[in-house]
Amino acid sequence: SGGAVMNDLWSFDGAAWTMLNADGDPNAPPARARAGVTWDLGRNSLVVFGGNDAAGGVLGDVWEWDPGTNTWTDVTPTVGPMPSARRFTALSWDPATSSVLMFGGLDATGTHLDDTWIFAGGSTWGQMVTTNITWLRAPTSATCCCSVARTRPWPAARSGASTPGVGTAPIGPRS
């Protein structure tokens, strides 16, 4: 669409694209670019956080799309801790915690953020404490979404042809 910020949603079945929500759908999240997106396997929903709106403003809202009803719900918490508005954030489903993890991004001033958050149950955020992790900062980021042994791979930032960098953080005892 020539660089326009849109809010349409499409599905690909391996052979053809199907429009699920048209651009401008009033029941969908506001149009955005550079948002964090992941599939929440526990809730069977698509999760979208932040990004830039059509005017370039940085967003901090959270939306879930339910494939069973083809509906969007604004699940932005109204109380409790919450990550700051950001773009280029990395989201990933974490099977070890049955939650969505979010790392980093850029705030409205272009400052690189090094914080890690967990979105539990589709309604509350909690900031995670990570130590002894060296982050590779870049304007864009990608994630991995698996747990190995007792360490968890964390989002890897990538810029141009550089090699992605991955940090690991210890996982506490599982109950």
The amino acid sitting at 126 is G
Residue 37 has pLDDT above 90, yes or no: yes
pLDDT of residue 32: 94
Q: For 83-137, what is each residue's pLDDT tens digit?
A: 999 999 999 999 988 999 999 999 999 999 989 999 987 789 999 876 655 555 5
- Chain center to CA of 160: 21
**Contact between 47 and 39 (Cβ < 8 Å):** yes
Neighbours of 150 (CB within 10 A): 12
Q: For 148-173, what is each residue's pLDDT tens digit?
A: 333 333 343 333 333 333 344 443 33
pLDDT of residue 123: 83
pLDDT of residue 132: 55
